[in-house]
Structure formats: C-alpha cells, structure tokens
Amino acid sequence: MATVKKVAVIGSGSWGTALAVMLQKHGHDVVIWSRRQDAVEQMEKERENKEYLPGVLLPEGLSFTAEREKAVKDAEIIILSVPSKAVRQTAIDFSPYLNSNQVLVNVAKGLEEISLKRLSQVIQECAPQCQVCVLSGPSHAEEVAREIPTTCLIASENAETAKMVQEEFMNPRFRLYTNTDMVGVEMGAALKNVMALAAGISDGLGFGDNTKAAIMTRGIAEMSRLGIEMGGKLETFAGLSGIGDLIVTCTSMHSRNRRAGILLGKGKSLAETLAEIKMVVEGVNTVQAAYTLAKEHNVEMPITNAIYEVLFQGKNAEQAVLDLMSRHGKAE
Ligand SMILES: NC(=O)c1ccc[n+]([C@@H]2O[C@H](COP(=O)([O-])OP(=O)(O)OC[C@H]3O[C@@H](n4cnc5c(N)ncnc54)[C@H](O)[C@@H]3O)[C@@H](O)[C@H]2O)c1
Ligand SMILES: O=P(O)(O)OC[C@H](O)CO
C-alpha cells in the first residue's frame, strides 16, 4: 500500500516531468530539479513544460527548484532522469546532499561511453551511500503523462528496496514488476535504442513490416547474446526491459531513436538528425559502447556493427541492409 512519500526528480526533460506528473497525481509530494532557473520559472508560471512535454498540465502541488540541496533534502526517493552522458557528473554534484536512507531510482537508458559501465555502476561509484534501483520498460513519457496504461519494472540487487519502490509507485494506470537482474535489465534498456535506430533507418529507406520484424527478432537475439555474456539472464531479455521495450521503441512515433533512424534512412546526416530531434537520442552513444563491448566479449552483433558503420564510418544505409542480408546462411 502506497504512503505519501517525498520524491525528488532530478532532470526536467520529458521523462522526468512525466513521472513527476504521475506521482504527484497519485498522492506523492514531488519536486522537480532543473539545472536551468529559466525552466523552473517557466514551469512554475505556466504549469506546463513547454520545451519537453507540451500539452500536459503540471498538477497543483508539484514544485520546482534549481537548487540541488533544496531538491533532495527530506526526499525519500530520488529519481535520476538526465541523459546517460550526464549521469556521472549529476551523481557527483548531488552526492554531498544524499544520505543512506535515500533510494536513488535511475531512469536513464544507456551505457557510459568511455568506461562502458552500466549506469547503476556509475551512480553507485559516485553516491555509494545510497541504494540504487533502475526503472525500465516500454514507457513513452507522452503516454505515461496522459495516464495511458503502462507496465515497467523496478530492478535492484536488493529485492526489498525494489518492493518498496514498487508499492509506492504503482497505480491502476502504471503497473510495476520487480526484478533483481540489474545486468539484464540495464543492457536490455540500453541496447534496444540501437535496434530502434535500425528500425527507423529501415522505415526511412521505405522498407516494410517484414524488414522491421527481422530487425526486432534478430535484434533481441544479439542483445541477449551480449547481455548473457556480461552476466544477465535470458528471461530478462524476454521481459519488459528486453522485448517489451524493443517493441515500443521500434514501432512508436513517440520514439526519439526511431524518429532519428527515419531521418538517417532518408539521407540526413547525423548532425542534421540530432538537431532536428532536439531531445536526447541515446542509441547514438550506446551504439559506440555496444560496438566496443561486443568486440571485448567476442560476441557477434551484426545489426549493432551495421548501425555503427552507418553512423560513424559513412556507410550507405541501404548498402548496410543489403550487406546484413547477404551474410553467409546460418541456423537460427
Ligand atoms: N522520454 C521518454 O519517453 C523516456 C522513457 C524512458 C526512459 N527515458 C530515458 O530517460 C533519460 C532522459 O530522457 P528524456 O526523454 O527525459 O530526455 P529529454 O531530452 O526530454 O530531456 C533531457 C533533460 O536533461 C537535461 N540535461 C541535459 N544535459 C544535462 C546535464 N549535463 N546535466 C543535467 N541535466 C541535463 C535537459 O536540460 C533536459 O531537461 C534518457 O536516458 C532516456 O533514454 C526516456
Ligand atoms: O524515445 P526513445 O526512443 O528514447 O524511447 C523512450 C523509452 O525508452 C521507451 O521505453
């Protein structure tokens, strides 16, 4: 049974704002931290996050601040919702204000570019005093903010911590399952964004449903190959943070990664694509990390390699698809 909890959301992008709206509406006392004072003032005045979640009313009681200490003081649960690139620095900046009673829930999906670490590992390094959880699964901000029924999972090495967050965050429009397989959950969450880029490129090239089904099916095969090699469980890749998130990201027009893929498939450069999407496209950084991890672990990841070549080695997207199709015949 949920109790009123003080929740701080670090990051005022689309996902942080959507979660804050949902939790405030369902009885929690929520504050959003933004690194920009002008964003705080805009949201306070207009009760709308015009930049990242337009058209959604920010409910009464939801508050905003640009001060770190004020944001997390007294918070029992802290949601970290910044792009994966910013996770380390954000955790370092907040760490002096965090204590061991607080639970940190990371909702970013990606890998750290240079260290190739999972984001929970990065956060645990920077704020070792906190218990770290991960919230993942098929969940676009635009739908969660409008209370469209959604299922996600909450993962922690500590089953009791995951259970506590599950009880506090669940409501009839937002169902959470618990999971203790942090490796599987985080690898699924990160790698699905690479497959969403691939699905978008296929759509942008004018290919069809057959092609997308192939990308998704062979995509989950290579995602789980790497994830299992790194210590994750096969069943996690068959769950919400694997196939579930892959389905929503590869098929939805809400997906930033898929939309970026469509632009790339239509011939736009990476720089033009990122400028047009404006919001974070995590698959672009993740593909570099996944490409390196696959080599390190000696795991075959042909779709990931193809996306890396298209994004960073100037390979023609259509040629990349034809090359994938022309690989030597294999058993499934
Ligand atoms: N949008 C979704 O539907 C959704 C759903 C699930 C998970 N996620 C994940 O959540 C994370 C955030 O995504 P989003 O969609 O909210 O992104 P977004 O592009 O909508 O917003 C990013 C936010 O982070 C802030 N930011 C950027 N750089 C920063 C920095 N260096 N320090 C602090 N803040 C910084 C921006 O000002 C902005 O408020 C991503 O990892 C994404 O994959 C997003
Ligand atoms: O919009 P995307 O592609 O970053 O995906 C957002 C979420 O991860 C979907 O679950």
Q: Is residue 132 part of a domain?
A: yes
Catalytic residue annotation: 192
From 180, 196, 226, give the residue that closes a domain. 180
Nearest protein Cα to ligand 2, atom 1: 255
Q: Identify which of 17, 255, 278, 286 to mutate to test ligand 2's pocket (most ligand atoms within 8 A of the CB).
A: 255
Question: Do residues 196 and 104 share a domain?
Answer: no
Q: Please check whether residues 194 and 300 belong to one and the same domain.
A: yes
The domain boundary, picked from 147, 164, 180, lies at: 180
Residue at 330 is within a domain: no
Do both 245 and 113 map to the same domain? Answer: no
Domain span at 263? 184-325
Question: What interface predicted TM-score (ipTM) does this complex get?
Answer: 0.99
74 with 168, same domain: the answer is yes
Same domain, 212 and 124: no
pLDDT at residue 1 greater than cutoff 80 = no
Q: Are residues 149 and 165 both part of a single domain?
A: yes
56 alpha carbon – ligand 2 mean position (Å) = 18
Q: Is 179 annotated among the ligand-binding residues?
A: no
Nearest-angstrom CA–CA distance, 174 and 69:
29
Could you tell me if the CB of 84 is within 6 A of ligand 1?
yes
Nearest to 140 by CA among 286, 24, 8, 248: 248
| Calpha distance 236→301 (Å, rounded) | 19
Q: What is the pLDDT of residues 267-322, one digit of tens each?
A: 999 999 999 999 999 999 999 999 999 999 999 999 999 999 999 999 999 999 99
Is residue 255 domain-resident? yes
170 with 318, same domain?
Answer: no
- Decide: 285 and 234 in contact? Cβ < 8 Å: no
Up-side HSE of residue 124: CA atoms within 13 Å toward CB? 12
**CATH number of residue 108's parent domain:** 3.40.50.720
Structural domain contains residue 1: no
306 and 197 assigned to the same domain = yes
Whether 127 and 102 map to the same domain: the answer is yes
Does residue 141's CB lie within 6 angstroms of at least one atom of ligand 1? yes
15 marked ligand binding residue: yes
| Binding site membership of 90 for ligand 1 (Cβ less than 6 Å) | yes
- Residue 63 Cα to ligand 2 midpoint, Å, equals 25
Which residue's alpha carbon is nearest to atom 5 within ligand 2?
Answer: 255
Per-residue pLDDT tens digits for 209-254: 999 999 999 999 999 999 999 999 999 999 999 999 999 999 999 9
Q: What is the rounded average pLDDT of the residues 171-196?
A: 98
Domain annotation covers residue 331: no
Supply φ then ψ for residue 203, to 5 degrees. -65, -45
According to the annotation, is 175 in a ligand binding site? no
Do 94 and 203 belong together in one domain? no
**114 and 23 in a common domain:** yes
Average confidence (pLDDT) over 191-201: 98
Residue 191, domain CATH: 1.10.1040.10
Q: What is the pLDDT of residues 147-172, one digit of tens each?
A: 999 999 999 999 999 999 999 999 99
The total number of structural domains that make up the chain: 2
Q: Are residues 219 and 288 in the same domain?
A: yes
User: Which strands sit side by side in the sheet containing 103-106, from one edge to the other?
Assistant: 63-65, 29-33, 6-10, 77-80, 103-106, 131-136, 150-155, 174-179
Measured in angstroms, how far is the CA atom of residue 326 from the centroid of ligand 1?
37
Would residue 96 count as lying in a domain? yes
End-of-domain residue from the set 180, 210, 230: 180
